[in-house]
Amino acid sequence: MTDIVPPEIDSYAEAHTTPPGDLLSRLADETKATLSSPQMLTGPVEGRFLQFLVFATGARRILELGTFSGYSSISMAAVLPEGGRIDTCEVEEQHASVARRYIEEAGFSDRIHIHMGPALESIEGLDGEFDFAFIDADKQNYVNYYEAVLPRLSARGLIAADNTLWSGRILDDADKSEGTEAIRAFNEHVLADGRAVSVLLTVRDGVTLIRRA
C-alpha cells in the first residue's frame, strides 16, 4: 500500500492516538508475521476511528464485511452497548482462526459472530437492520455489498467503506487493473446515488462514510 499521507505525519497521528492496548498490539504483530497481505490490517488509527464511530452513534447491530484477523471487530466490540452484536463475514479460514483466538481472549465471543463463506450469502441469511456497516472485503463486490446493505440501514445507520483512495491509484488513468477499476466504479456509484449522502475521508487508505439521504 502506497502512503497517501506522508509517513512522518502518519507516524505522528499514530503516536498521538490512544494506544490500542496489549491484546491488539499482539494481534497486529502476529498478523504481520504470519498472514499474507498484512497491509489489510486495520491498525491503531483506523481501529480507534471505527471505535469512535460506533461509540458516537450508539450502534447496537454492526455488520462487517471482511474480518481478516479481527482487529476492527475487537476495536468496535469494546464500545458496544449492552446487548450489542457484530456479524462479521470472512472467506479465509486462516484469517478467521486467528480472529477467533483473539476474540475469545478479549472476552467478546458473545458479541462477535464470524460467518464463513461469501459475504453476500451471509448478508441474505441475517435478519433485521444494521446500525453500522464496515465494508472491507473484495473490492470487485463493493457495489454489490453497498446495494445489499444500504436498504437495510437503520434510520440513523452508517456505512464505512475502506480503501476508497486505493493507494492513490484511482488517479492513475493508465491503471486499468480490476481492483482499481472496481474502486473507481464504487466511488462514482455512491456519488451518483440520490439515496445516499457521503464523504470520502483521507484516513489511512481512504474511508468513505455513507448514510441514507
> Which three cell numbers mark 207?
474511508
pLDDT of 154-175, one tens digit each? 999 999 999 999 999 999 999 9
* Mean per-residue pLDDT, 32-37: 90
* Mean per-residue pLDDT, 30-53: 92
Reported residue count of the chain is: 213
The pTM score is 0.95
Residues of the chain with pLDDT > 70: what percent?
99
pLDDT at res. 105: 98
pLDDT at res. 163: 95
Residue 1 has pLDDT above 60, yes or no: no
Residues of the chain with pLDDT > 90: what percent?
91
> Which three cell numbers mark 114?
464470524
> Which three cell numbers mark 209?
462514510
User: Which of 31, 68, 77 shows the shortest CA–CA distance to 50?
Assistant: 77
Distances (CA, A) of 144 to 64, 104, 135, 185: 14, 31, 11, 11
Sign of the dihedral defined by the CA atoms of residues 31, 25, 14, 159, in that order: positive
Q: How many CB atoms lie under 10 A from the CB of residue 84?
A: 18
